[in-house]
Chain A
Amino acid sequence: MTRPDWIGLLSRSAPDALTALWPAVGDLPAPDWLRRPETGSVMVRGRTGGTGAAFNLGEVTVTRCALRHEGVEGHAFVQGRDAAHATRAAWIDALMQTDRAEALARDVLAPLAEAERARRETRARKAEATRVDFETMVRGED
């Protein structure tokens, strides 16, 4: 998993899911902040007709923060307003750049990725079960 992938995965994950995996991370010092958690918004854009000119659809809440740990920076940019979630996400990003990467990829990122995959697949399979074939009835007089 590349760094953009794990930052995105942490952003999209449910705060409760990351909290539940936190024992695998263990004790950490107080964060050395580069940027304290801040909630704001991002303007989401769409395209006319799905493919054309960009337009502003509406905003989504996000919380970002950044911290320093053992010479590396941990960044988070998470959906929603949960500062604790953003802080945890930034910690994982920092620790993924240390020698703990392998263990955290296995104990934290892999379960989050699997939860997202399973959630999406269940939804896709429910949708597929509602797929219909409309049959055209014979039209006209003869």
Chain B
Amino acid sequence: MYVAAKGGEEAIAAAHRWLAEERRGQGALIDVEQIASQLALTVARVMSEGSLYDPELAALAVRQARGDLIEAVFLIRAYRTTLPRLGASRPIDTGAMACDRRVSATFKDVPGGQVLGPTFDYTHRLIDFAEAAGADPAALAAAAPGRRPRVSDHLGREGLLRDEPRDDTTPPDLTRTPLELPADRALRLQALARADEGFLLALAYSTQRGYGRTHAFVGELRIGTVEVEIDLPELGFAVAFAEITVTECETVNQFTGSKSEPPQFTRGYGLTLGACERKAISMSLVDRALQWRELGEDCVGAPAQDEEFVLAHADNVQATGFLEHIKLPHYVDFQAELELIRRLRREVGQTRETAE
């Protein structure tokens, strides 16, 4: 436990003034629009982990946090709590996504084609000291393509892929009611969608290295924009009120069957606000690992299979809140511990004297 400490107002004010000065730094002030457009993946990460899609706000948070992304996520989450909830959208149709990127590791000739998009893949990953010199405008194809059908539709038709039956039940919402375990898949996916990328990456990697292996291939990865629709009862119709960028990853996993399920490919699913490719892939692997119970698989006790472990530790705002609170004044606690150690040492000393 920690107790309120009095005093220090002047020191705190001075610390905050210095923070403002350090934050301002040297050179021209970075424009929020510059951050949103030139550090777009940073902004995407803050939106994804902050669980609020608003690029301008996320960019502002990044600047205020001096680039500390967890601090920026914290600012977004805190802001979010001040907003009234005006409704819930219809589920987005990722099949109708306007894809910037769309690749499949399982089907070379996927209908609609493999579209690389603005990827780091196949770059040399050498620092380019001339990068600031400017870029040539990107090439344009002669014509825009139509809808790119989903890879899983293709496999699903043959019955080789576990079905994902449509279900319009109102999903549980962990921002409204505390997380309860065991969680259903909808609740798990919500928690994973707002989880820390690094945590998900490490867990996903652990499954690849053998801690609850799931034999995952990326069936399809797509990044692009979707319209978000909401039913507005006061108007009596639905409106596509927003356009957002999302990343979707679906893994196809080898599955030899269990007592309850026939041999077939199973699926892991990742969906994130913004362009967060690494996180979406990680999320789909962790989602698949957590499905062991539904699929009648054995639990081998791997961390990624442990729902309580994964869901209770995936939120970096929660984690950092608890972790960092130990730097706040704990003087009274520590005094008590100090007294205890001194007393124990005295007692040990007396016992020794008696023994001698």
* A-to-B contact residues, CB < 8 Å: 3-4, 7-8, 11-12, 38-62, 64, 66, 75, 77-81, 120-134, 136
Contact = CB atoms under 8 A, between A and B. Distances in A.
Interface in B63-99: 80, 83-92, 94-95, 98-99
A61 B190 CA distance: 18
Contacts of B119: 130
B228 A44 contact: yes
A25 to B, nearest CB: 21
B200 interface: no
A12 B243 contact: yes
8 contacts: A7-B235, A41-B80, A44-B273, A56-B174, A58-B194, A58-B273, A126-B140, A132-B116
> B90, B138, B143, B224 — which one has the most chain A CB atoms within 10 A of its CB?
B138
Contacts of B248: 50
Given A4-B237, A61-B53, A124-B144, A50 B94 contact: yes
Contacts of B80: 41, 59
Given A43-B87, A49-B164, A128 B115 contact: yes
B100 interface: yes
B267 interface: yes
A76 B142 CA distance: 37
Given A49-B250, A55-B189, A77 B241 contact: yes
Nearest to B174: A56
B239 interface: yes
B108 interface: yes
A44 B246 CA distance: 11
B308 interface: no
Contacts of B111: none
Interface string B163-193: 0111111111111000000000111011001
Contacts of B54: 60-61, 80-81
Nearest to A8: B240
Nearest to A60: B53
Given A52-B164, A60-B242, A129-B139, A45 B100 contact: no
A53 B185 contact: yes
Interface size class on chain B is: 35 or more
B317 interface: no
B241 A12 contact: yes
Contacts, number: 251
B239 A45 contact: no
Contacts of B114: 131-134
Contact of A126 (B139, B227, B244, B269): B139
B243 A41 contact: no
B152 interface: yes
Contacts of A130: 101, 115-119
A29 B85 CA distance: 31
Interface of B: 47-48, 51-54, 56-57, 80, 83-92, 94-95, 98-102, 108-109, 113-119, 138-145, 150, 152, 164-175, 185-187, 189-190, 193-194, 224-225, 227-228, 230, 232, 234-235, 237-244, 246, 248, 250, 267, 269, 271-273
> B101, B172, B187, B239 — which one has the most chain A CB atoms within 10 A of its CB?
B239
Contacts of B238: 4
Main secondary structure, interface of B, reads: mixed
B240 to A, nearest CB: 4
B146 to A, nearest CB: 9
A13 to B, nearest CB: 10
A44 B140 contact: no
B171 A42 contact: no
Given A42-B86, A58-B52, A127 B239 contact: no
B145 A124 contact: yes
Given A58-B52, A60-B244, A129 B167 contact: no
Given A50-B164, A52-B165, A131-B115, A41 B190 contact: no
B53 A121 contact: no
B228 A43 contact: no
Nearest to B53: A60
A45 B152 CA distance: 20
A51 B84 CA distance: 29
Nearest to B50: A58
Contact of B190 (A57, A80, A136): A57
Nearest to A61: B54
A79 B267 CA distance: 33
A8 B229 CA distance: 9
